[in-house]
């Protein structure tokens, strides 16, 4: 069967092949004495018969075996390489026929073992090894001197070299061993010294000189075939096997040396054992500078105080930790990085090593354990309208679009088409989100360029990145008119995102004269009267998204904030958190509600109640409830209540153009939002009876105040895209991945224990979440049930039209000319508002929070407005009068 074992003389071009495999079946070496043929591989000298002599019991000597033998440079090769013969040999010797080993999860193929015998003179010892090889099916070569041995070794890199150490005349065995050891990348060979029997049986010579020369083992001369076979088998099963696995480790090192992520390996005492070139690039430290030193956890005062605890708790449990942290580079800069620390467990589950992967935050990759997001992205590709752009692009998240075209992934219809509450679509879209400020693109390009750059360039670019990452650079520049030069959208955007016109108007207006309204609650006992049953009936539906706030406005005689506020505050235990009485809380709510202008069509206390409702609804979603703490939640509720207090029913632009007192006071910057926030605190502190903060500790008050201010200021629309891109790029993607993981683990996971959840809970991230929460609540009215959505659309249009009326009347610049009573198209303005501001925002929000009802309503309402707009067009009307909106 198959090709028979062969004997050939190396490099001579002559190969001696055995005639048949019959000999292999022989249970005894004597079976080897058969007739042989030789042939020349590269030529055609046909088989030549080789005569061998068989002797029962003892193996024939090489001289006997190889009647025809050519020698050159002192090597002779014996090969017994067919499966048949090897299997047969294994059967005879009881060797398992396993051809693969496992190195962790890696399959390592066991090579056909190659052995180099270095014997100056053939004798019974070399012959016995030779025959043992034959019996075991190992490939064998014989070298006669150091030169021949080295040359053979360099060519074939044998797994095992057996050097005759008994005679020093012909070559220096130890020098030869050293030379072999010095050959780089073949250091995994096993080298055995054959030594003489000690003349004095009682005195065993030291093995140390041999070990120092690089030998792995000593074999005391023994020409018994069984002893040689056993020796070879032992070596095969121990040293050779282990070294074969070590060779496979080189492949792993090649891999980790070439990945762009930074990889560091520490021992159990956190001493660095290894860092890859990616580490050098990321941190600026060279391998020599850090290996052997202790590696601490990420240090930066930008990290949350409990970061180390969070990491330690996780890794001590043998679990990996992943998150975004700050750590210092060699030059002292603190850079944000995604890190993944995994403990490696050894015997008895004890931690033996720590492997840490890092990459600079913002750098994107396609492999490695940091890639849950990428995995999710790949999953989601099926659902994306724009996936082809990304696939054919680079591996960067955000480079798929080449221009600042915020909405260009949307097809003619909204990207909500077919949403129907499919949060998966939202997750998909958030990963494809295109709300990138130009700065994001710049950062991505630099990140991509950093890969495989020399370390000094990487360092320089890191500095550039640090500068570019400063917050102010994140604001997108609205240089071009958005969305196909659509006048409705551009008016809307100009109106909401800019502060005043360049034209100056001197006319003073008397807006917000009532900066400190004189309202003081009528009596300290002004209890809320019993909640009337009709109010109660409506309030019962408060936990649902389709709660009817307009109906509550009606039955409460335009005081919905007080009733809804008390209901929601009691549900969230606001009194307990603030350590204040219910009376104080009621008086506060009344005070704030009274400072809303009921005369405003839109920005009245019903809007505040509506935003409070949405806020409470979001706070109750599992994801948010598990991340925010009580103080965050109370801050959100209070901010919602007071976020538009004393709103004059005019936009910031109007106030700036009109040089109002408020605009002057706040230097035209976030005029209204600054006012809402400042007034909230002024009102609260003015009278002890409604001071809900009075019992808080100084620290709690500071924290709460800071959060309320931050949230109210976040409702300012000029920074809409900044807030959204920060949220989408960090929280939303991370949250969506964590949620997919939650789903995978199914509901039994209960609490949220993944490293991503820990990261989400940092103070910084909770702030981002709260900002987005109030923003979503503030402009969620187009995502309410249709009748409510239509009502809100009418109200905002009415308020804007009133502003236009006044602008015209007073000769002020008309900030949003499309909101003119004579020509206003509510459907068009809603379509633009949804397209421009809401789609991406609610995608990001839904991906994180899971808000299917919102997405469903938004999708339906969007279609409704489209239908209305088309109908108006069919009728030839460019105008939908307010009264005509159903």
**Binding site membership: which residues?**
603-607, 643-644, 778, 830
Binding site, annotated residues for Zn(2+): 607, 643-644, 778
Pairwise CA distance, residues 816 & 825, whole Å: 12
User: Considering 8, 431, 603, 675, which one is annotated as catalytic?
Assistant: 603
Q: Binding residue for ligand 5GP (CB under 6 A) from 767, 829, 839, 868?
A: 829
How far apart CA 393 and CA 391 sit, in angstroms, is: 5
What is the residue whose two structure tokens read 């070299």? 161
CA atoms within 13 A on the CB side of 46: 2
- The correct pick among 627, 779, 790, 841 for binding ligand 5GP (CB under 6 A) is 779
Mark residues 473-512: x for contact with ligand 5GP by CB under 6 A, - for none.
-------------------x---x----------------
Measured at the CA of 530, the angle between CA 526 and CA 535, to 5 degrees, comes to: 115
Residue 857: count other Cβ atoms within 10 Å of its Cβ: 23
866 binds, among ligand 5GP, Mn ion, none (CB under 5 to 8 A by kind): none
Q: Minimum distance from CB of 713 to ligand 5GP (Å)?
A: 10
Smallest separation, CB 259 to Mn ion (Å): 48
From candidates 284, 500, 782, 827, binder to ligand 5GP by CB under 6 A: 782
- Find the helix or strand (DSSP H, E) in which 160 lies: strand 160-164
Please identify, using beta-carbon distances, which residue of 219 and 837 lies nearer to ligand 5GP: 837
Would you say 153 or 792 has its CB closer to ligand 5GP?
Answer: 792
The DSSP 8-state label assigned to residue 113 in this structure reads: P
CA pair distance 490, 835, nearest whole angstrom: 12
Q: What crossing angle do the helices spanning 582-594 and 630-642 adopt, rounded to 10°?
A: 30
Contacting ligand 5GP within 86-105 (CB under 6 A):
none
Cβ atoms within 10 Å, residue 121? 12
Residue-by-residue DSSP string for 421-474? T-HHHHHHHHHT-----HHHHHHHHHHHHHTT--HHHHHHHHHHHHHHTSGGGG
Task: Answer yes or no whether residue 778 interacts with Mn ion by CB under 5 A.
Answer: yes
Stretch that binds ligand 5GP, among 84-92, 124-132, 272-280, 825-833 (CB under 6 A): 825-833
Asked about 603 being catalytic, the answer comes back as yes
Residue 792: name its binding partner from Mn ion, ligand 5GP, none (Cβ under 5 to 8 Å by kind). ligand 5GP
Show Cβ contacts of residue 313 under 8 Å, excluding neighbours closer than 6 positions.
none
Interaction pattern, residues 618-647, with ligand 5GP; x per rule: CB under 6 A: -------------------------xx---
CB 346 to ligand 5GP: min, Å: 58
Q: Among 347-355, 758-766, 791-799, 855-863, which window interacts with ligand 5GP (CB under 6 A)?
A: 791-799
Cβ-count burial 528-539 (b if 16+ within 10 Å, e if not): beeeeeebeebb
CA angle 221, 149, 116 (to 5 degrees): 55
Q: Are 434 and 408 in contact (CB under 8 A)?
A: yes
- Pick the stretch among 37-45, 121-129, 473-481, 771-779 that binds Mn ion (CB under 5 A): 771-779
> Between residues 108 and 789, which has the closer beta carbon with respect to Mn ion?
789
Say if CB 112 and CB 118 are below 8 A apart. no
The interface partner of residue 640, options being Mn ion, ligand 5GP, none and the CB cut-off 5 to 8 Å by kind, is: none
Provide the minimum distance between the beta carbon of 420 and ligand 5GP in the complex, in angstroms, as a whole number. Answer: 22
- The region of 36-44, 54-62, 113-121, 777-785 touching Mn ion under the rule CB under 5 A is 777-785
Q: Containing H/E element for 779?
A: none
* Residues binding Mn ion: number (CB under 5 A): 2
CA distances from 484 to 408, 756, 859 (A): 10, 39, 22
Which one, of 875, 861, 847, lies nearest residue 423 by Cα? 847
Smallest distance from ligand 5GP to CB 839, Å: 13
What is the rounded distance in angstroms from the CA atom of residue 149 to the CA atom of residue 162? 10
Site for Mn ion in 583-602 (CB under 5 A): none
Judged by beta carbon, residue 337 or residue 781, the one nearer Mn ion is 781
| Closest by CA position to 717, among listed 611, 615, 546, 833 | 833
As measured in angstroms, the least distance from the Cβ of 768 to ligand 5GP is 18
Distance CA 175, CA 155 (A): 19
Among 236, 239, 644, 756, which residue sits at the site for Mn ion (rule: CB under 5 A)?
A: 644
Binding mask 700-719 for ligand 5GP (x = CB under 6 A): ---------------x-x--
Q: Which phi and psi angles does 371 have, rounded to 5°? A: -100, 30
Query: Per-residue string for binding with Mn ion, 191-220, x by CB under 5 A?
Result: ------------------------------
Nearest partner of 591 among 639, 682, 521, judged by Cα:
521
Per rule CB under 6 A, is residue 796 in the interface with ligand 5GP?
A: yes
- CA–CA distance, 607 with 596 (Å, rounded to integer): 9
Query: Which CB sits closer to ligand 5GP, 796 or 855?
Result: 796
Q: How far is CA 836 from CA 437, 486, 840, in A?
A: 14, 11, 8
Q: Quote the least distance from Cβ 387 to ligand 5GP, whole Å.
A: 31
Query: 773 is in the binding site of which of ligand 5GP, Mn ion, none (Cβ under 5 to 8 A by kind)?
Result: none
Smallest CA-to-CA distance from 574 within 546, 535, 615 is with 615
Q: Which does 796 bind (CB under 5 to 8 A by kind): Mn ion, ligand 5GP, none?
A: ligand 5GP
| CA angle (553, 555, 558) in 5-degree steps | 40
- The residue (of 414 and 830) whose beta carbon lies closer to ligand 5GP is 830
Annotated binding site for AMP: 603-607, 644, 778, 830
* Sole window of 23-31, 623-631, 777-785, 857-865 interacting with ligand 5GP (rule: CB under 6 A): 777-785
Enzyme catalytic residues? 603
Please report, as ranges, the residues that interact with Mn ion according to CB under 5 A.
Answer: 644, 778
Please report, as ranges, the residues that interact with ligand 5GP according to CB under 6 A.
Answer: 492, 496, 643-644, 715, 717, 778-779, 781-782, 792-793, 796, 829-830, 833
């Amino acid at each position: 069967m198959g090709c028979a074992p062969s004997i050939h003389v190396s490099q001579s071009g002559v190969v001696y092949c055995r005639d048949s495999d019959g000999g292999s079946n022989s249970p005894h070496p004597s079976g080897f004495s058969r007739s042989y043929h030789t042939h020349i591989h590269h030529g055609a000298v046909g088989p030549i018969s080789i005569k061998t002599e068989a002797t029962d019991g003892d193996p024939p000597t090489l001289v006997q075996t190889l009647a025809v033998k050519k020698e050159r440079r002192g090597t002779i090769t014996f090969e017994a390489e067919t499966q048949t013969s090897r299997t047969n040999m294994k059967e005879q010797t009881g060797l398992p026929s396993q051809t693969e080993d496992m190195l962790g999860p890696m399959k390592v193929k066991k090579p056909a073992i190659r052995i180099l015998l270095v014997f100056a003179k053939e004798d019974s010892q070399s012959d016995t090894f030779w025959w043992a090889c034959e019996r075991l099916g190992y490939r064998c070569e014989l070298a006669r001197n150091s030169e021949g041995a080295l040359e053979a070794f360099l060519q074939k890199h044998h797994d095992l070299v057996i050097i005759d150490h008994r005679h020093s005349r012909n070559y220096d065995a130890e020098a030869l061993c050293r030379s072999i050891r010095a050959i780089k990348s073949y250091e995994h060979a096993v080298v055995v010294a054959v030594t003489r029997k000690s003349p004095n049986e009682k005195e065993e010579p030291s093995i140390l000189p041999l070990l120092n020369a690089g030998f792995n083992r000593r074999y005391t001369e023994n020409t018994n075939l069984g002893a040689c076979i056993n020796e070879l088998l032992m070596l095969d099963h121990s040293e050779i096997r282990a070294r074969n696995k070590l060779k496979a480790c080189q492949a792993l090192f090649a891999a980790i040396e070439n990945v762009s992520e930074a990889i560091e390996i520490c021992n159990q005492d956190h001493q660095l054992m290894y860092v890859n070139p990616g580490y050098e690039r990321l941190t600026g430290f060279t391998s020599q500078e850090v290996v052997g030193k202790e590696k601490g956890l990420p240090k930066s005062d930008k990290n949350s105080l409990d970061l180390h605890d969070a990491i330690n708790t996780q890794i001590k449990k043998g679990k990996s930790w992943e998150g975004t942290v700050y750590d210092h580079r060699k030059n002292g800069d603190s850079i944000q990085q995604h890190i993944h620390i995994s403990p490696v467990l050894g015997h008895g589950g004890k931690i033996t090593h720590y492997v840490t992967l890092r990459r600079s935050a913002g750098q994107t990759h396609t492999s490695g354990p940091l890639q849950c997001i990428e995995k999710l992205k790949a999953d989601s590709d099926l659902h994306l309208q724009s996936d082809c752009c990304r696939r054919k692009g680079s591996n960067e998240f955000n480079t798929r679009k080449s221009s600042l075209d915020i909405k260009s992934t949307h097809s003619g219809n909204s990207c909500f088409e077919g949403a129907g509450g499919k949060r998966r679509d939202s997750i998909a879209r958030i990963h494809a989100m295109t709300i990138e400020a130009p700065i994001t693109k710049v950062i991505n390009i630099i990140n991509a360029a950093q890969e495989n750059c020399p370390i000094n360039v990487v360092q320089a670019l890191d500095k550039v990145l640090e500068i570019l990452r400063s917050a102010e650079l994140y604001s997108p520049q609205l240089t071009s008119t958005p969305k196909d030069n659509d006048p409705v959208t551009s008016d809307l955007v100009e109106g909401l995102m800019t502060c005043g016109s360049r034209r100056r108007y001197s006319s003073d207006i008397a807006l917000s004269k009532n900066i400190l309204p004189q309202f003081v609650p009528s009596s300290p006992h002004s209890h809320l009267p019993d909640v009337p049953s009709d109010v109660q009936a409506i309030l019962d539906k408060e936990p649902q998204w389709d709660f009817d706030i307009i109906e509550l406005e009606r039955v409460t005689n335009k005081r919905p904030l007080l009733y809804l506020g008390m209901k929601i505050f009691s549900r969230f235990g606001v009194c307990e958190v603030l350590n204040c009485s219910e009376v104080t809380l009621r008086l506060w709510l009344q005070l704030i509600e009274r400072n809303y202008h009921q005369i405003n069509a839109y920005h009245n206390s019903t809007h505040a109640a509506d935003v409070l409702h949405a806020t409470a609804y979001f706070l109750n979603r599992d994801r948010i409830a598990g991340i925010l703490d009580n103080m965050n939640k109370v801050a959100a509720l209070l901010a919602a209540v007071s976020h538009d207090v004393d709103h004059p029913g005019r936009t910031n632009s109007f106030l700036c153009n009109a040089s109002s007192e408020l605009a002057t006071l706040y230097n035209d910057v976030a005029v209204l939002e600054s006012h809402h926030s400042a007034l909230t605190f002024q009102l609260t502190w003015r009278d002890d009876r409604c001071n809900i903060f009075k019992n808080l500790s100084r620290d709690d008050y500071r924290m709460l105040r800071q959060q309320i201010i931050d949230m109210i200021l976040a409702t300012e629309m000029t920074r809409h895209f900044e807030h959204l891109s920060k949220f989408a790029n960090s929280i939303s993607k991370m949250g969506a991945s964590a949620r997919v993981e939650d789903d995978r683990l199914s509901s039994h996971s209960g609490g949220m224990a993944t490293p991503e959840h820990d990261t989400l809970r940092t103070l910084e991230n909770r702030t981002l979440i709260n900002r987005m929460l109030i923003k979503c609540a503030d402009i969620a009215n187009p995502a309410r049930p249709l009748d409510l959505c239509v009502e809100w659309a009418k109200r905002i249009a009415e308020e804007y039209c009133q502003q236009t009326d006044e602008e015209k009347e007073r000769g002020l610049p008309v900030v949003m000319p499309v909101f003119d009573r004579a020509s206003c198209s509510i459907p068009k303005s809603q379509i633009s508002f949804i397209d421009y501001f809401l789609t991406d925002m609610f995608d990001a929000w839904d991906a994180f929070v899971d808000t299917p009802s919102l997405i469903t309503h938004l999708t339906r309402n969007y279609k409704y407005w489209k239908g209305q707009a088309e109908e108006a067009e069919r009728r030839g009307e460019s105008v939908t009068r307010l009264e005509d909106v159903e």
